[in-house]
Structure 1
């Protein structure tokens, strides 16, 4: 993860692939847990599936933004500012537009039908898709300008543009003091005061700071060596904070809300460091499986939620047990997504471009 290395960092590729699988399982759990979602099972599960959702929700989106910040360094090394902007518009903007106009309408339709907000066919719903902005699950607007789950692409696109002048002016530091491992989570904690916009469990400013950390902190040349020296206490802090957070969710009566938020920040920070430590130690290699799944990760991400929503919609009223439904939902959705990628997307140039791959 050193900033001076021009070699490809395979541990980051592994983290991205594993995180994509994590967000796939997380959205599969949303079909069963008590949180609002586009389509829900006829029986809600508030024990082990909820615990899984809370645990993954702590770190899943922050790790995406941290990796994106780290990858921005390598992208800017090879491109001018104009080339960087064009590359981001192509690799992020085109999948986002495809999601907004092709993948989002069926999901909004399913949400409206299952919540008695619409009673016609999908073709009859299409003209209504442009009625008002879709701002949140259960809202009145239909036009999903952020692409629903693809809000990450929109936010990353904005972050990339507004931070470009900063990245060009202030270079990455070669050395970082251990004190930053304490100061940086304090900064993340302070972002909770702002309440700009909550997405995926965290505020927009939280994600922006994580993106900047990926560029300036996680990419420092001595980050890995420092991380190795503190990983034991990092694991201890992450586990304790996670247990307190999950046990006290949404927040315990005996603890102020801001303090409980601080516990969540500590858990997130700890798991980010643990993930980077484990990837550096065990996943600094490449093989054919990584090459295949690394390229498949963007199409998989773009497709996963629409497929989960569709499969969930078809089985929501079945009288199956929750474990059986979960196995069916995960297995069938995974097979459909990978079949679409393997047999269509990766072989057809226009589809490759629409899903963020090189043509």
Structure 2
């Protein structure tokens, strides 16, 4: 193998994986679609903080929101780990790290100023009576040491902020950590312990139970000391969850036997996941007291069960290509970057119009989706905008021989 490629990675199962895992594309697409719906719900769910809230708040909405809030983000990191494993089978390390850095860090840096800044502006106007227009705000936003900031006009809100773009920073950091750990992971895979773990994970019960234990242990050790911040440098409790499932995805990336088991037992995994959701809901929303150790096990077993169940159903029913998949693969990162700013801008205006909760939510959702669609239609036509939003400079640029989208291309392609 060329010296610029990743160290040899011994197969976890067999190397006869499909040429492309379309089901992973669809999982990522559906997870980001759910993200848009989830953020729309955050405008209306009672008691949960968000950048802007409607006057139509709902307590029952918590039950629906909680369903996906536990596993939605871990699913994205899990799929990203799988993509990284498959990419490193054929892509040089330099290309892997270069694409991840270009397609993730550049949009993170530029869009935190160009796209995210209106979110803070509308939040300040709605919640704190900010007296100036957007032009004055933007001038101050670009100067973190501006005197008006130091006098508390921004009410302690972080400036500048990446808000929902935190995912890009975390994915980049985990990718770089993976590259640094490759020699160790290769050695572990070849070691007696690694072979024993692989054999255990080929057993259905072990595949369900064992991966949940490190997740629960991380929660027990870190949750009381580190609050969730989305600030990367001090978010150790969430790193113990997100980075661990990212590594699980890498570990299982091309393992044929575990994937066959997951696909075959998808119904049982779904039923167990529904039972886990019932217990988590009873604990968080119905006030059912659980000892901390039991809470940690229940919550993280629930997360892992849903990752397995969703992966099993996707592997069974979504491993096919479609023009919609190809469009979404390209559009997913620009849509992700744009959606929350469009949503908050629309909500800032619409919550003052006296609409009912259903009509208000529908109109905000339509404006958000239409704005993302129109925004991507413009972005894809201009090379500078393509660069800012993480797209390849040429419309038909191929990465690793496939029509990889920006998040996937950042991994170097999602092929075995």
For the criterion TM > 0.5, the same-fold answer is yes
* CA offset digits 1:55-102 (Å, max 9, x no partner): 121111001100110111233233332222211111111111122111
1:288 aligns with 2:300: no
Aligned counterpart for 1:150 among listed residues 162, 165, 170: 165
Q: Is the 8 A contact 1:197 1:204 kept in 2?
A: no
User: Match for 1:46 among 49, 52, 59?
Assistant: 59
1:303 CA displacement = 1.0
User: Structure 2 CA distance, aligned partners of 1:261 and 1:319?
Assistant: 43
Tell whether the 8 Å contact from 1:188 to 1:206 is kept in structure 2 after alignment. yes
Structure 2 distance, partners of 1:139, 1:180, is 47
| 2:224 is the counterpart of 1:190 | no
For residues 146-201 of structure 1, the C-alpha deviation after alignment (integer angstroms, 9 at most, x for no partner) is x1101010011111112212224424677633223211011111111213452679
Cα offset for 1:226? 1.5
How far apart are the structure 2 equivalents of 1:227 and 1:150?
A: 31
Q: Tell me what 1:64 maps to.
A: 76
Partner of 2:5: none
How far is the alpha carbon of 1:325 from its aligned partner?
1.2
Distance across 1 between alignment mates of 2:123 and 2:229: 19
Query: How much has 1:356 moved relative to structure 2?
Result: 1.4
Gaps of 5+ in 2: 1-11, 190-194, 394-416
Q: Secondary structure at the match of 2:265?
A: helix
- TM-score when normalising by structure 1: 0.90
How far does residue 230 in structure 1 lie from its aligned partner after superposition? 3.3
> Which of 242, 252, 256 lines up with 1:207 in the alignment?
242
The one of 86, 90, 105 aligned to 2:117 = 105
TM-score by length of 2: 0.78
Q: Using the alignment, how far apart are the partners of 2:265 and 2:392 within structure 1?
A: 39
> What is the CA–CA distance in structure 2 between the aligned matches of 1:332 and 1:3, rounded to whole Å?
47
Alpha-carbon separation, structure 2, partners of 1:282 and 1:67: 17
Residue 180 (str. 1) matches residue 207 (str. 2): yes
User: In the alignment, which of 126, 138, 141 is matched to residue 157 of structure 2?
Assistant: 141
Indicate conservation of the 8 Å contact 2:267/2:309, yes or no: no
Q: Is the 8 A contact 1:131 1:141 kept in 2?
A: no
Quick check: 1:251–1:257 contact (8 Å CA) kept in 2? no
Q: Does 1:297 align with 2:322?
A: no
Q: Does 1:167 align with 2:192?
A: no
Distance 1:68 1:339 in 2: 27
Instruction: Report the 3-state secondary structure (helix = DSSP H, G, I; strand = E; otherwise coil) of the residue aligned with 1:203.
Output: helix
Contact 2:144–2:160 at 8 Å: present in 1 too?
A: no
Matched, 1:94 2:106: yes
Please state whether the residue corresponding to 1:65 is helix, strand or coil.
helix
Moved over 4 A (4+): 172-175, 199-202
| Greater Cα shift, 257-266 or 20-29 | 257-266
Residue 257 of structure 1: CA displacement? Answer: 4.2
2:351 maps to what in 1?
316
Alignment correspondent of 1:352: 386
Match of 2:396 in 1: none
RMSD, aligned CA: 2.5
Q: CA deviation at 1:6?
A: 6.2
Deviation (angstroms), 1:139: 6.4
Aligned equivalents of 1:64, 1:217: Cα separation in 2: 15
CA deviation map 1:279-312 (0-9, x unaligned)? 1110111011111112111111111111111111
